Amino acid sequence: MKTAAQHPAKRKREPTQRVKETPLNEADWIDAATDILVKENVRGIRIDALCQKLGVTKGSFYWHFSGRAALLAALLQNWRTRMTTNVIDRLGAQSGDPMFRLRALLALPRRDRSPAFARIEQSIRDWSRRDSQAHDAVRDVDMIRMNYFIDLFEQHGFDPATAKRRAYMAYALLMGDSVLRDTLDPDNADVALDDIMSLLTRKDTIA
């Protein structure tokens, strides 16, 4: 029989430090998971790591999600909504002019918060190279965005085939600018955007 001295000392549990006084909601967990995704990768999104980050127990996590897979699905849906469907809805509320909305889309990478959004986008696309669920989500988002561009060009008077080609060019320019803005910056972004709009909307046979 072990004496008291032979029993290993119990480790004292460190107190958790909550990140907010009010109860956490689903968005708090998704934001925390997205932050880990960007700073590490999807493998870093673990329930214990999230609980430590937010200063709560696992019971709080399971109040909102059935498990890690459910959280990852919610993260992808949140990205789809925030960075695609919400953007489309806001543009539609601002103007009915398709070329106003096209220019506003192409200007998105130059907004103050865009670098943070670009890092999320890049992290999810990196994840999608190794995971079918993320790949399907990225493909769905790309199709929604592409179809929106096509619709803008068709509203401007292009036939469907030309609108599709111009839409691909516009989307490629948008995605490329979101990456290149950190290393290459035009002397005047507004002038560069005017030139891009002129090329994309001209009615000759560039595409």
Q: What is the per-residue pLDDT across 87-145, written as a single tens digit (0 to 9) for each?
A: 999 999 988 899 999 999 999 988 877 888 999 999 999 999 999 999 999 999 999 99
Give Cα separations from 203 to 1, 56, 163 (angstroms). Answer: 92, 59, 11
Distance CA 13, CA 43 (A): 25
Q: Is the pLDDT of residue 3 over 70?
A: no
| pLDDT, position 125 | 97
Write out the residue limits of the CATH 1.10.357 domain(s) in the chain.
75-201
Q: Is the pLDDT of residue 72 over 60?
A: yes
Distance CA 19, CA 32 (A): 11
Q: Spell out the residues 6+ positions from residue 86 whose beta carbon is closer than 8 angstroms to its own.
A: none
- The answer as to CATH 1.20.272 being correct for domain 17-65 is no
Distance CA 203, CA 206 (A): 8
Q: Spell out the residues 6+ positions from residue 138 whose beta carbon is closer than 8 angstroms to its own.
A: 124, 125, 128
Distance CA 50, CA 58 (A): 9
- What is the dotted CATH code of the domain comprising 75-201? 1.10.357
| pLDDT, position 143 | 98
Flag the least confident range among 25-29, 47-51, 124-128, 176-180: 176-180
Write out the residue limits of the CATH 1.10.10 domain(s) in the chain.
17-65
